[in-house]
Amino acid sequence: MILCLEGPSYAGKTTVIRRLRELLPEVGALFLECYVERIPSEKDVPPPRTRSAAEQLRAFRIFMAIEAERVAQVADGSGGLVVLDRSVDTLLAHAYALEQMYGFQVYGQVREILAELPYLRPDQTVYLDASPGALRLRRAAEIPDSAEDDYFLHDSRFLAYTREYFVGPRQGPVARQVAVAPSDGPVDTVANNVRVLVESWSR
């Protein structure tokens, strides 16, 4: 089974995954970190706000090279539960949002490219659904001087379009199923709620 955690930046994915690590050691779950964690230098991470369709496609290909490494890692494992911190749905949602915001004609292209490349398809994705206000408060608590900066990943339009990709009526994620977990509350409470949900699936 492939389980994925998705949601906006600061929605609580890191805390949820830490709780799942505590819950699942006996089943030998394989945890795969987020794409950006596999890029050695921060300066090499593609910017979240790309400036052109060509730049967005380059970013997508960089992340898909990392996805190929994840596929190989799962193939080398012994089976069982795989927990992903984000999946290719993150990349597709990002392309969809930028297309809606800036007119980049890339979403269809990245879906076509995806069909030709190896990738992991989650059996179950949990989308952590946090409001923009809650996200800003969490980021401000972690980075005290960030209250007035321009953090693109919390742009209201970007958040709305990425959410639409996962839970809207028109867009279809790669994941076989998507469960929405409200995550405006304390992150520890959110994490425990997701842990209970995962426990119910693993019985």
Q: Which fold has domain 2-202?
A: Rossmann fold (3.40.50)
User: 100 near 170, Cβ under 8 Å?
Assistant: no
Q: How confident is the model at residue 87 (pLDDT cuts 50, 70, 90)?
A: very high
Nearest to 125 by CA among 181, 74, 66: 181
pTM for this model (two decimals): 0.92
Nearest to 129 by CA among 77, 183, 173, 49: 183
Q: How confident is the model at residue 171 (pLDDT cuts 50, 70, 90)?
A: low
Task: Look over the chain and give the mean of its residue pLDDT values, rounded to a whole number.
Answer: 89
Tokens of 73: 């890692």
Q: What pLDDT does 24 receive?
A: 67
| Domain segments of the chain as ranges | 2-202
- Spatial distance between the Cα atoms of 89 and 71, rounded to a whole number of angstroms: 15
Backbone angles phi, psi at 125, to 5 degrees: -115, 135
For residue range 172-187, what is the model confidence (pLDDT) as tens digits? 899 999 999 999 988 8
Regarding beta strands 30-32 and 124-129, do their DSSP bridges make them parallel or antiparallel, or are they unpaired? Answer: unpaired
Q: Which amino acid is at 52?
A: S
Q: What pLDDT does 5 receive?
A: 96
Q: CB under 8 Å to 164, separation ≥6 — which residues?
A: 96, 170, 171
The dihedral built from the CA positions of residue 97, 103, 105 and 108, taken in this order, carries a sign that is: positive
**Tokens 């984000």 sit at which residue?**
86
Of 6-20, 142-156, 184-198, the range with the highest mean pLDDT is: 6-20
- Spatial distance between the Cα atoms of 173 and 59, rounded to a whole number of angstroms: 19
For residue range 48-72, what is the model confidence (pLDDT) as tens digits? 999 999 999 999 999 999 999 999 9
Q: What pLDDT does 31 receive?
A: 92
